[in-house]
Amino acid sequence: MKVLFVITSLGIGGAQHQVLDLADRLSIKGHQIMIAYLTGPASITPNNPDVYVVPIGISKSPFGFIRGYLRLRRLIIDFKPDVVHSHMVHANLLARLQRLTTKIPWLVCTAHNTNEGGRLRMLAYRQTDPLTDVFTNVSKEAVEAFEIKGAAPAGRMLAIYNGVDTLKFSPDGRIRDAFREQFEAGSDKIILAAGRLVEQKDYPNLLSAFTKIASKTENIKLWIIGDGPLRESLESRVADLGLGKRVTFLGMRPDNEISSLMRAADVFVLSSAWEGFGIVVAEAMATEKVVIATDSGGVKELIGDCGFLVAPKDSDALTHALEKALNMPGEHAEILGKKARQRIIENFSLDRVVERWLEVYSPPRM
């Protein structure tokens, strides 16, 4: 089978990593895979050299859009995919419009959040819906949000969860000890957060909660993986709070380091105001971490009873949950961590998700 993935960008993000993971696994299974990205540089690329990556170079001007549209059209004509699978709002809408001039045997469009823009984007989704064979989102709550906003008719969207590589994200005591030594963690308890430094992730909420914890306890530190437009303001806030020695911004890290940092941490926290799925939560659960997360998007579906869930934008609730997790007896934390990993293996492993996509890629026989 030939599959063309179309995605808005190959910057750092959960959707981008998921597409690359799917492309790598499908290629290993013998399928011919190509990835087209619309804009920006490719910050991340597939591990499998058999996966072709093609920049489209679309821009916001009318001429730039037309040129990008024609480039993607030519790519589809030349590659002759059995399936085009687009991801994120701009790629989804562009792929749908391709159907007006280009033969696409089977078109699958995937949104990756409860929130992919305002009314105009939701209207564009609704108006172009007939051009799509399958429309999916990454959680049941995200599907419901799209239906409420009128982006898709009721019953139209499918919820297909993201998948986690449970071999890459797994517990390893030796790596844990090595990374704690490298980052001079000593006997400190480490809270880890990961995600772009943007409004969606609501790091001010996390810093408010951590400030309350830090005022009571000396041996707790916060590591934050990620970068983004809010980094400077967040670093300034940390300095103003006098937490420069307690909070470390680790910047962007490759996947192998992210998994190692998760192993080195004691608890993982997600403070988002909204989410689609929260893949980093699943990755932390796979490494047997105790997880605290806000009830945003599909995170509740992901955690189940294997972690702590609190309301978004409630720093007091987040503080209480973090304190409870940090003070949990070691044996209890170990039991909860193992339970969390088993939940990921049974419900959200990458292999299971790939098989689900292969079912979606097979058009029903008439």
pLDDT < 50 stretches in the chain:
366
DSSP assignment of 16-58 equals HHHHHHHHHHHHHTT-EEEEEE-SS--SS--SSTTSEEEE---
pTM: 0.87
Cβ atoms within 10 Å of 120's Cβ, excluding its own: 8
Ordered by where they begin, the domains of the chain are 2-162+350-360 (3.40.50.2000), 173-347 (3.40.50.2000)
Cα–Cα distance for residue pair 125/151, rounded to 1 Å: 5
Q: Please give the pLDDT value at position 363.
A: 80
The confidence score (pLDDT) of residue 298 equals: 82
For residue 241, count CB atoms less than 10 angstroms from its CB and return exposed for 0-12, middle for 13-18, buried for 19 or more: middle
- Percent of the chain with pLDDT strictly greater than 90: 86
Q: State the pLDDT at residue 354.
A: 96
Please enumerate in sequence order all residues whose Cβ is within 8 A of that of 95, keeping only pairs 6 or more positions apart, or say none: 6, 72, 84, 86, 104, 107, 109
Q: What is the pLDDT of residues 305-333, one digit of tens each?
A: 999 999 999 999 999 999 999 999 999 99
Contacts of 64 (CB under 8 A, 6+ apart): 58
Is the separation of the CB atoms in 219 and 187 below 8 Å? yes
Position 365 scores a pLDDT of: 58
- Position 366 scores a pLDDT of 44
CA distance 258 to 194: 8
DSSP secondary structure letters along 70-138:
HHHHHHHHHH--SEEEEESHHHHHHHHHHTTTS--S-EEEE--SS----HHHHHHHHHHGGG-SEEEES
